[in-house]
């Protein structure tokens, strides 16, 4: 049975909606069945997962999407297989290290469960990114549904028969990730394709991905400082309350992720025509998810109590997190603008500008976070996050505007517009990627 035909951008959003729904429901089920302290441990584990995603995402998956966008079919398939091998080489040692960190900081006895969840999740993400890099978003939906919606079904079944704990939840994540990886592996059929030389490919990936890695490390520091400072100041229950609030607001995250996954390829393909051409290619994807994000934000602003009651019943004190939820709702708009804009920058060799935006944002949060949390608790943490994303979005928008303006106009712009200056159109042809990474050894 053939899947229905939808525009490419629609399948991007549909695939991310599948991830969003699965992640959201999984978080809600865990919030309902774990103690608030144990759920605080899960909130801290989410930070560990983000480290894993950042390393492989920046050094492998992002370069794959940009480099692959300008290759013919056969070298592109070789590049995908090479990226999958690099995912194992890079990802498995990182998974071991992070699992040890989970066992040390979150709970002894979690090493094996954490390693299985991290390693299996990264394997599935590798196959998934292979499909996305070739714009096969429709094909990716099946495996993503098995992984993300499957974990909800399985954890619900387990919760009805035994006392659910964090370790069993991690094993559920590992099992369903392996199922999703198996489906997407069959779709890619990588075993019949010879890889490119690993050394030259990784060096090229590193040269392109190091800016993204640096930016994403700053994103982790900025984002994960919030629950960790809350835990340090008030205990893991505060981090659990913060995560319970974030679950509602984070419904919009996969929308921005879906858009950000496709923008670098679109921008890179048009980049030879200059910054304006690249922006025209990115713009339709940028605005595609904005109505959905805005709709969710309006609902969160108007009906916070109802959303919290629907999600958690009486398991948390909803009155204590109404204001934080509203702050997170406003943050979601700036987060979307920043994510879409940064994805465009990474498609036009603007990684340095994206890094500067993240550095400015992280410094602002670092200055605010401890006094804000100390005096205002969860509200202070959410206010610090909002301010950080306002700074990040503003910097990125100014950088993109600087790139698309005529040269004469750019020369007369105020200093703030020039902080993340992109290369001029006249030099673009000299820096375009030539698909020669398969040569040599």
Crossing angle for the helix pair 304-312 and 322-347, nearest 10 degrees?
Answer: 90
Residue pair 16/142 in contact by the 8 Å Cβ criterion: no
Q: How many CA atoms lie within 13 A of 273 on its CB side?
A: 10
Average pLDDT over residues 120-145: 84
- The pLDDT score that the predictor gives to residue 412 is 56
- pLDDT single digits (tens) 341-359: 988 888 887 777 888 888 8
- The pLDDT score that the predictor gives to residue 409 is 54
Q: Does 329 score more than 70 pLDDT?
A: yes
SS3 assignment for the chain: CCCCCCCHHHHHHHHHHHHHHHHHHHHHHHHHHCCHHHHHHHHHHHHHHHHHHHHHHHHHHHHHHHHHCCCCHHHHHHHHHHHHHHHHHHHHHHHHHHHHHHHHHCCCCCHHHHHHHHHHHHHHHHHHHHHHHCCCHHHHHHHHHHHHHHHHHHHHHHHCCCCCCHHHHHHHHHHHHHHHHHHHHHHHCHHHCCCCCHHHHHHHHHHHHHHHHHHHHHHHHHHHHHHHHHHHHHCHHHHHHHHHHHHHHHHHHHHHHHHHHHHHHHHHHHHHHCHHHHHHHHHHHHHHCHHHHHHHHHHHHHCHHHHHHHHHCCCCCHHHHHHHHHHHHHHHHHHHHHHHHHHHHHHCCCHHHHHHHHHHHHHHHHHHHHHHHHHHHHHHHHHHHHHHHHHHHHHHHHHHHHHHCCHHHHHCCCHHHHCCCCCCHHHHHHHCCCCCCCCCC
Higher pLDDT, 263 or 12: 263
- The pLDDT score that the predictor gives to residue 173 is 92
State the residue for tokens 């089920």: 29
- The pLDDT score that the predictor gives to residue 435 is 39
> What is the C-alpha to C-alpha distance for residues 176 and 172, in angstroms, rounded to an integer?
6
If one counts every other C-beta atom within 10 angstroms of the C-beta of residue 415, the result is 6
Is the C-alpha dihedral spanning 262, 266, 269, 273 positive or negative? Answer: negative
Average pLDDT over residues 422-437: 46
Q: Residue 175 class from Cβ within 10 Å (0-12 exposed, 13-18 middle, 19+ buried)?
A: middle
Quick one: which of 417, 418, 358, 415 has its CA closest to 388?
Answer: 358
Q: How many CA atoms lie within 13 A of 166 on its CB side?
A: 22
- The pLDDT score that the predictor gives to residue 434 is 38
Average pLDDT over residues 25-51: 81
Q: Residue 316 class from Cβ within 10 Å (0-12 exposed, 13-18 middle, 19+ buried)?
A: buried
Residue pair 321/245 in contact by the 8 Å Cβ criterion: yes
- pLDDT single digits (tens) 156-181: 888 777 777 888 888 999 999 999 99
Q: Does 21 score more than 90 pLDDT?
A: no
- The pLDDT score that the predictor gives to residue 214 is 80
Higher pLDDT, 309 or 323: 323
Residue pair 229/370 in contact by the 8 Å Cβ criterion: yes
Residue pair 62/129 in contact by the 8 Å Cβ criterion: no
- How many angstroms separate the Cα of 145 from the Cα of each of 31, 84, 126, 140, 320? 21, 21, 16, 9, 34
- The pLDDT score that the predictor gives to residue 440 is 35
Q: Does 407 score more than 60 pLDDT?
A: no
Highest mean pLDDT of the ranges 17-31, 198-212, 218-232, 332-346: 332-346
Largest CA distance in the chain: 69
- pLDDT single digits (tens) 135-161: 777 888 899 999 999 999 998 888 777
Crossing angle for the helix pair 304-312 and 236-249, nearest 10 degrees?
Answer: 110
- The pLDDT score that the predictor gives to residue 5 is 46
Mean pLDDT of the chain: 80
Q: From the CA atom positions of the chain, what is the Rg in Å?
A: 21
- The pLDDT score that the predictor gives to residue 426 is 46
> What is the C-alpha to C-alpha distance for residues 249 and 252, in angstroms, rounded to an integer?
6
Residue pair 423/271 in contact by the 8 Å Cβ criterion: no
- The pLDDT score that the predictor gives to residue 4 is 45
Average pLDDT over residues 72-84: 81
State the residue for tokens 């990716």: 140
- The pLDDT score that the predictor gives to residue 1 is 39
Residue pair 171/162 in contact by the 8 Å Cβ criterion: no
Check: pTM over 0.85? Answer yes or no: no
- pLDDT single digits (tens) 234-281: 887 788 788 888 888 887 877 787 788 778 878 888 887 888 888 888
Q: Does 334 score more than 90 pLDDT?
A: yes
Higher pLDDT, 289 or 431: 289
């Amino acid at each position: 049975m053939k899947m229905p035909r939808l525009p490419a951008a629609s399948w991007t959003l549909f695939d991310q909606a599948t991830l969003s729904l699965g992640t959201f429901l999984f978080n809600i089920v865990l919030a309902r069945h774990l103690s608030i302290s144990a759920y605080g441990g899960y909130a801290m584990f989410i930070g560990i997962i983000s480290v894993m995603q950042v390393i492989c995402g920046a050094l492998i998956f992002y370069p794959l999407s940009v480099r692959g966008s300008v290759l013919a079919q056969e070298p592109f398939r070789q590049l995908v297989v090479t990226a999958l091998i690099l995912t194992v080489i890079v990802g498995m040692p990182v998974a071991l290290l992070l699992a040890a960190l989970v066992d040390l900081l979150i709970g002894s006895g979690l090493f094996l469960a954490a390693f299985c969840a991290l390693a299996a999740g990264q394997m599935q993400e590798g196959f998934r990114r292979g499909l996305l890099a070739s714009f096969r978003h429709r094909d990716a939906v099946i495996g993503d549904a098995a992984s993300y919606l499957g974990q909800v079904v399985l954890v619900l079944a387990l919760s009805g028969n035994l006392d659910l704990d964090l370790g069993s939840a991690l094993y559920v994540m590992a099992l369903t990730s392996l199922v999703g990886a198996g489906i997407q592996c069959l779709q890619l059929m990588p075993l019949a394709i010879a890889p490119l030389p690993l050394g030259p490919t990784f060096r090229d990936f590193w040269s392109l991905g190091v800016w993204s890695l640096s930016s994403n490390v700053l994103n982790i520091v900025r984002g994960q400082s919030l629950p960790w400072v809350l835990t340090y100041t008030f205990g893991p229950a505060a981090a659990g309350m913060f995560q319970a609030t974030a679950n509602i607001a984070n419904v919009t995250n996969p929308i921005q992720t879906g858009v950000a996954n496709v923008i670098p390829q679109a921008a890179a393909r048009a980049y030879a025509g200059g910054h304006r051409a690249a922006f025209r290619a990115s713009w339709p994807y940028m605005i595609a998810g904005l109505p959905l994000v805005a709709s969710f934000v309006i609902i969160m602003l108007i009906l916070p109590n109802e959303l919290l009651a629907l999600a958690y019943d009486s398991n948390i004190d909803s009155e204590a997190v109404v204001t934080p939820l509203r702050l997170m709702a406003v943050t979601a708009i700036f987060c979307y603008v920043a994510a879409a804009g940064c994805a465009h920058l990474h498609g036009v060799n603007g990684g340095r500008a994206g890094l500067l935006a993240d550095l400015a944002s992280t410094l602002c949060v670092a200055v605010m976070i401890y006094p804000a949390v100390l005096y205002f608790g969860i509200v202070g943490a959410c206010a610090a996050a909002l301010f950080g994303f306002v700074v990040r979005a503003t910097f990125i928008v100014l950088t993109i505007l600087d790139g698309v303006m005529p040269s004469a106009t750019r020369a007369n712009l105020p200093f703030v517009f020039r902080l993340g200056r992109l290369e001029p159109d006249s030099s673009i042809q000299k820096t375009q990627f030539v698909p020669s990474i398969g040569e040599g050894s």
